[in-house]
């Protein structure tokens, strides 16, 4: 396979896997739409993913990378839709609006700094790439507290198997994509996604959800 065809195939794989991961939120969207309640749906992952998408969209635009632009533009639209529906059905919006204002403030300050105070394009690209990388790594590492809770309770009910597989495939494809482009800002932050996905898969193997249901039945 020629290099150009291989790059195009890898780009397509990144787009498909990433949009598949973003679309896992459609089940939450359907739940909120049908029940008109937010129940156990978590708001912060929608918000942080949206900010992450917008950050990488800026990096992709500055770099001229069509794959990054397409994926993160669609991702930002989806996450914004999830956020708006959540806020519509959330009875008390104070905390959510405060979180939204805080993260959007950080995003606006960051972009103001990069575009106004860093005139050199190459320096701007490197600093924005570093910002995106750190933000992505923090997103992948933030669920470690949930994983510790799973080990403590010996229950994987709070984990999503489909999201775990989607995250593994997405992280692996972007790691390979970043390696192919010799872009550490794309490659490095996706490695924690691979590692945490393997940890989740190990937890699913060690604490099967069928075992959780049987345990709950014995308790009732």
Is the backbone of residue 147 left (phi > 0), alpha (psi -120 to 50) or beta? alpha
Q: What average pLDDT does this structure show over 191-200?
A: 91
CB 86 within 8 A of CB 41: yes
Residue 2: band (very low, low, confident or very high) from pLDDT cuts 50, 70, 90: low
Instruction: Provide the token pair at 163.
Output: 């999201």
pLDDT for the residue 218: 40
Using DSSP, how many helices (H) and how many strands (E) does the chain show? 11, 0
Q: What average pLDDT does this structure show over 32-53?
A: 87
Domain count, the chain: 1
Q: What average pLDDT does this structure show over 14-28?
A: 88
Per-residue pLDDT tens over the stretch 84-95: 999 989 888 888
Structural domain harbouring 125: 3-219
Mention every residue, 6+ apart, whose C-beta is less than 8 A from residue 114: 58, 124, 127, 128, 131
Per-residue pLDDT tens over the stretch 63-104: 999 999 999 999 999 999 999 999 989 888 888 899 899 988
């Amino acid at each position: 396979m020629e290099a150009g065809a291989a790059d195009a195939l890898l780009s397509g794989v990144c787009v498909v896997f990433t949009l598949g991961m973003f679309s896992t939120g459609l089940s939450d969207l359907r739940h909120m739409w049908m029940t008109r309640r937010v129940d156990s749906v978590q708001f912060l992952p929608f918000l942080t993913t949206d900010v992450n998408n917008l950050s990488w969209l800026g990096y992709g635009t500055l770099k001229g990378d069509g794959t990054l632009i397409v994926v993160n533009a669609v991702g930002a639209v989806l996450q914004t839709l999830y956020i708006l529906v959540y806020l519509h059905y959330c009875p008390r919006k104070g905390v959510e609006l405060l979180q939204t204002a805080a993260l959007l403030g950080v995003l606006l300050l960051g972009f103001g700094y990069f575009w106004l105070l860093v005139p050199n394009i190459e320096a701007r690209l490197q600093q924005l790439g570093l910002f995106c990388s750190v933000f992505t790594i923090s997103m992948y590492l933030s669920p470690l507290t949930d994983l510790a809770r799973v080990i403590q309770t010996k229950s994987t009910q709070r984990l999503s198997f489909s999201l775990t597989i989607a995250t593994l495939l997405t992280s692996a494809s972007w790691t390979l994509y970043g390696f192919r482009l010799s872009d550490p800002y794309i490659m490095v932050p996706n490695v924690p996604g691979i590692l945490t996905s393997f940890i989740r898969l190990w937890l699913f193997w060690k604490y099967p959800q069928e075992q959780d249901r049987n345990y709950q039945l014995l308790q009732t």
